[in-house]
Chain A
């Protein structure tokens, strides 16, 4: 039923994703791959588990520390039993006060991160203010939900979103399920094939108000632990100087943790461990 009286145009929502879906649907992930392949597959068993031909495997984690939130991810991408890439970036700065990390199929993952950061920038430019932390988290949930047809084909994208809430002056962590369900975490979370292993370590080592040095150490340890237990997760590689991607999100915005810092912390950890054995 059409309501009488004037109505605002849908364009007034300032959403780039909405604009794209309306005017250039071929550029959104879902309408490009979603429907046609799904129809072709309809006579196969969609629910039957089978090895996915797409790049998979990952550990990404986030937890709160004294100044805000830390978010980190390993660098490995796999294709079946092969390593496809060992310098992959899975943690992205999405705007001045937020970042996201992604687990799942590489292509759609990177694309979602890219679209989401354009979405935030677009809103900021159109409305003249940044979205609230809550608003960003909800918007990401809707984008994950829009991705559901791809999930049915095995192209799963599971993000982990962190933001510094400038109004409440706290760092916040949000996790998602494949249907776009959004759940806020109070302390820590990790996702991906090695997510459980990282989470077990975080459960042991996480304390409230860790300083940023300690937070970097715990994050690195959790990722290294996951890499030891999970084939889809790559550990630190001092020879090629490949270290996890790590970002701190706090009042000052989003800062990268430099490779030099990570290399020093990693050497200390190795040194301490070798003494114990």
Chain B
């Protein structure tokens, strides 16, 4: 059988997109939600040492869903970009918006030029000085970028999680305890599985901390919060 010599660009993009979506759909999800002191990032992650959520800069956190090796490389590139920018200009000039743009450019280029697209979805969160001034960006495998208010989710079950969270979250900003409980319930409802506390990876961007706002929440603390 002769190989087809011509594939239409539409067909090629569609195939790539399908391939990437399939890869991401297999991955577990991550939620970012605003709480009274900043932003909570929480991931359905059974590993205690391989993290999905990471600090990028003073007020910025990163999270990736999909293929580990790919979002890990993007995470490192983001930290290098942020540290370099902070050294060249000043610490306050490092913003999630510019990082999100760089990620969007990179992923867009890879999607259109490489044979195999990245099977990743990224989340960038930046805590603001006041409630309501936080920034949340969701960057898809093809470089498309969405900024969201109050909450967002990435990974395989992102849309179902968001629907649940929008319905169930209270009017006023939740406390940390309320936010963790809400997210745990959302994961359980959407995956229809019991989620153990050890199976949750949580971190906050707490605006009341001085300097670097990022802090991991150890599972011992999650235990106390949920008891």
Contacts and interface: CB of A to CB of B under 8 A. Distances in A.
B partners with A? yes
B84 interface: yes
Contact of A125 (B55, B84, B87, B88): B55
B76 A114 contact: no
B79 A122 contact: yes
Contacts of A122: 79-80, 83
Nearest to B214: A125
Interface stretch (A19-27, A45-53, A83-91, A135-143): A19-27
B164 interface: no
B84 A121 contact: no
A56 to B, nearest CB: 25
Contacts of B84: 19-20, 23-24, 27
Interface string B45-87: 0000001001110000000000000000000100110011011
A16 B83 contact: yes
A11 B83 contact: no
B87 A128 contact: no
A114 B87 contact: yes
Interface string B185-204: 00000000000000000000
Interface in A3-53: 11, 16, 19-20, 23-24, 27
Contacts of A23: 84
A114 B87 CA distance: 9
A16 B80 CA distance: 7
Interface residues of B, number: 13
Contacts of B88: 27
A200 interface: no
A11 B72 CA distance: 13
Nearest to B216: A128
B87 to A, nearest CB: 6
Interface in A82-134: 114-115, 118, 121-122, 125-126, 128
B171 to A, nearest CB: 35
A122 B84 CA distance: 10
Interface residues of A, number: 15
B56 A128 contact: no
A122 B212 CA distance: 12
Contacts of A115: 87
Interface in B180-227: 212
A252 to B, nearest CB: 15
B86 A118 contact: yes
Interface in B67-122: 76, 79-80, 83-84, 86-88
B83 A128 contact: no
Contacts of A16: 80, 83
Contact of A118 (B55, B56, B83): B83
Nearest to B57: A125
A126 B76 contact: yes
Given A20-B84, A27-B88, A114-B87, A126 B79 contact: yes
A16 B55 CA distance: 15
Nearest to A20: B84
Nearest to B54: A125
A165 to B, nearest CB: 22
Contacts of B54: 125, 128
B86 A125 contact: no
Given A20-B84, A24-B84, A118-B86, A128 B51 contact: yes
Interface string A231-261: 0000000000000000000000000000000
Nearest to A119: B83
Interface of B: 51, 54-56, 76, 79-80, 83-84, 86-88, 212
Q: Which 6 A-B pairs have the closest CB atoms?
A: A125-B79, A125-B55, A122-B83, A19-B80, A16-B83, A118-B83
12 contacts: A11-B76, A20-B84, A27-B87, A114-B87, A115-B87, A122-B80, A122-B83, A125-B54, A125-B55, A125-B56, A126-B76, A126-B79
